Structure 1
């Protein structure tokens, strides 16, 4: 079975300091990704001030507005304040079976969570984790350990696994831990070995290295330089991986999204089950 997924930090659907709303343009842009599953970060569940300030502010929560009639949606509320809240969300064309949101806040100034959603893919249940890690390296290390523990306790080794989101890991120090503990691949690290070597020159011109431990660069959107956004996989084969740069993507958020085409690697899943 073929599957397209995407991950995107949407910056709460507004420009800096909330001067202008971008949520309608974001909805149209996300539609063009044509993704079966979309992992979203910085999703505004409620913001009373923006709702009063902007005439076009949606009456729905952003995850519901972005899902529209084509996708189911799940929201994990993380940061709560007097006038609203925001967090992570997942949009899915495929049936959503269950969802949980776990608080992994490391201190009072950064409220973070892990949104765990089980999605039905053919006859299998795929475990999807939406991540937005902290700004401090020590926090990120502890939050990744919490993620690893949660996956080891709640995800069967034979189940497909997708972890995607904003890792804030500009030094690229977390991948080795995830590779070792969870036996995952990262979508762009694996790209040359999985049939898209012909894209390498194009990506290098854009400043995006391919190959081991060379993740896609997604921040800042105007001239992506830092590798903050990732997609880690287990039980899938990467068919095609893209960074959505240029055009309107430069101004819709402070990040650009990643889009990856996948197929289920049933041999890999069977091997893990037997092992």
Structure 2
């Protein structure tokens, strides 16, 4: 099974600043993922020609299930997180990760009915301040809706904005999570045209077997957004009798 996590920067190229969502769709298509986790997805915003980007992704990939989370509301439209899945959701929740008056942030939680068994998937886009990120991670791990699926194999992905890599040995490490995106030197994803920092991350807990985790470095990916996509190939470890 393959998951792709990608901050698409609203479909605006990080270097040429051109809005071309077709480039992002092609980058995703090249990887052929079963689970697509996207951050900074616009809907009805002037800068992106009032496109309904969630609808365009659904039309491009025909998922069995999908869910959009509008986090930041603008004068016209807004942007947020989008998950598309080749398999149906058995359950899904969306929670706010907004701390006081900071920019609205959110997390999406799913139990995905994969062919290998249920997967507990968490998808988020964390804040820019370190204390904010630690509060957000702690808030999510303590949330009653998160605990509903915490007995299942769990995968947390997204734009962590954790450039100092403190969540791994901190909140997530204490929660029993293992970082897949280490060492940081192998997972530099931002800025896409000359990546120097690793802020697109993945953590796992429970019965997951990860075959490979990598950053996609195609020429098109370097132009399509200001982030490079993270790709994870994995299996669910069957429970032992």
TM-score by length of 2: 0.89
Matched, 1:243 2:235: no
| Conserved 8 A contact 1:18-1:50 | no
Query: What is aligned with 1:226?
Result: 197
Matched, 1:106 2:99: yes
**C-alpha displacement of 1:152:** 5.5
| Conserved 8 A contact 1:148-1:181 | no
Query: What is aligned with 1:40?
Result: 38
Query: What is aligned with 2:121?
Result: 128
Query: What is aligned with 2:4?
Result: 6
CA distance, structure 2, for counterparts of residue 110 and residue 21 of structure 1 = 23
Matched, 1:87 2:80: yes
CA distance, structure 1, for counterparts of residue 189 and residue 158 of structure 2 = 11
Query: What is aligned with 1:261?
Result: 233
1:65 is paired with a residue whose SS is helix
Larger Rg: 1
Match of 1:66 among 32, 57, 66: 57
| Gap runs ≥5 in structure 1 | 53-57, 191-206, 210-215
Deviates more, 1:72-81 or 1:104-113: 104-113
Query: What is aligned with 2:148?
Result: 154
How many aligned positions are there? 237
1:177 is paired with a residue whose SS is helix
2:83 is paired with a residue whose SS is strand
Query: What is aligned with 1:198?
Result: none
| Conserved 8 A contact 2:38-2:83 | yes
Match of 2:136 among 130, 135, 143: 143
Query: What is aligned with 2:159?
Result: 166
| Conserved 8 A contact 2:37-2:158 | yes
TM-score by length of 1: 0.79
| Conserved 8 A contact 1:63-1:73 | no
**C-alpha displacement of 1:27:** 0.8
Structure holding more helix per residue: 1
Matched, 1:75 2:46: no
Query: What is aligned with 1:252?
Result: 224
| Gap runs ≥5 in structure 2 | none
CA distance, structure 1, for counterparts of residue 191 and residue 40 of structure 2 = 15
| CA-based RMSD | 2.4
Query: Which of the pair has the greater relative contact order for Cα pairs under 8 Å at 6+ separation?
Result: 2
CA distance, structure 2, for counterparts of residue 120 and residue 135 of structure 1 = 33
CA distance, structure 2, for counterparts of residue 18 and residue 162 of structure 1 = 33
